[in-house]
Structure 1
Amino acid sequence: MSHPVTPWYKQFWPWFLIGLLMLSISVSSTFAFLAIRSADGMVQEDYYEHGRAINMVLAKQERAAELGIAASVRIDPLTSDVVLDLEGDHYPEKLDFELIFPTRDDRDIEITLEHVRDGRYLGQAPDNLRYRWYLQLQPQVDEPEWRLVGEGRFPDEDAVRLTPGRAAPANDS
């Protein structure tokens, strides 16, 4: 009672194992292709220079705290008008207002704000501003003396507060 042995290419298991191998090769090749072709926007090429600039940024924020500068900014959801009220004694003619998108640097927006009277500045944001943004404000000069930072979610009817950005104390819990 011998059973006839069928050739390997007519059996199920060799083709199943070969199929798994081919599937893993095609999936890994696809992921390798995508990893090579798509850029990672979170990684900065000039990380060394960026790290060195952190101390300069902190010094600008400390200088804003020394001068007692703060601001509140509101972006109208209908007209996209930017209205900023600067508190303090220093009122430059123009301010650089940056909206920094947390994950994609190609979506960052720079707006020039013009001084109109007594610490009030006006500018125009792009239409349909949405999502969460990091905000930075500084005078529009070659070497700005101070910088304010904040965080806002748009569209929003409320004003966003910009402060010198000192680090909050850590919780002991």
Structure 2
Amino acid sequence: MSTTPVTPWYKQFWPWFLLGLLMTSVTVSTTMLVIAVRSADGMVQEDYYEHGRAINMILAKQQRAAELNLAGDLRIDDQTGDITLDLAGDDRPERLILKLLFPTRDDRDQAFTLEHVRDGRYVGQAEERLAYRWYLQLQPDQETPEWRLSGEATFPADEAIVLAPGGPG
């Protein structure tokens, strides 16, 4: 017969190791659940059906811009925030709307009004310095604009940004 004393379970390593694994998994799971409930997924469209139907309207606006031979060169001064657009083509309204759309978070989207000053040149002002990658949309300041130019840029940008009828965004 062996006379070695048996230590109680709570003084041994393995029960505490297994309980530690269990408590770690419960803690991580609870943390992930809280994060999932509190943070909304901004990439999901609630009205995905309506959004899908609007694609044909977007394509029609881009087609109309191509028919009008519209194209633009956009510059945004990183220091002063001055926005300068040179618009070429057959339609030059008095006021344009430039939308900057952030790819992943719609709460960062911005819109600027550009005023026509002369010969297809439009000017506006950005209130803060721009950084990161953006999708750009340019259209007339109307209730239902008939055309739209699109582009993509990473700010700060040293070169002119080309806005064209079939660009990204």
Give the TM-score category using the shorter length. over 0.9
Is 2:135 the counterpart of 1:150?
no
Consecutive unaligned residues of structure 2, counting only runs of 5 or more, are none
| Residues 80-139 of structure 1: per-residue CA shift (max 9 Å, x gap) | 111101111111111010011111111111001111111111100122111111110000
Partner of 2:43: 42
Partner of 2:58: 57
Partner of 2:6: 5
Consecutive unaligned residues of structure 1, counting only runs of 5 or more, are 168-173
Partner of 1:171: none
Contact conserved, 2:152 with 2:167, CA < 8 A, in 1?
no
TM-score under structure 2 normalisation? 0.94
Q: Distance in 2 between matches of 1:47 and 1:97?
A: 24
Coordinate RMSD, CA, aligned? 1.3
Q: Distance in 1 between matches of 2:81 and 2:89?
A: 25
Q: Distance in 1 between matches of 2:127 and 2:44?
A: 26
| Residues 17-57 of structure 1: per-residue CA shift (max 9 Å, x gap) | 01110110011101111111111121122222111111111
Q: Distance in 2 between matches of 1:83 and 1:60?
A: 23
Q: Distance in 1 between matches of 2:115 and 2:167?
A: 26
Is 2:103 the counterpart of 1:96?
no
Shift of 1:166: 5.8
Q: Distance in 2 between matches of 1:118 and 1:53?
A: 33
| Residues 36-79 of structure 1: per-residue CA shift (max 9 Å, x gap) | 11111211222221111111111100111111111111011111
Query: Could you tell which deviates more after superposition, 121-130 or 6-15?
Result: 6-15
Q: How many pairs does the alignment contain? A: 167
Q: Distance in 2 between matches of 1:73 and 1:166?
A: 14
Contact conserved, 2:149 with 2:167, CA < 8 A, in 1?
no
Identity across aligned pairs (percent)?
68
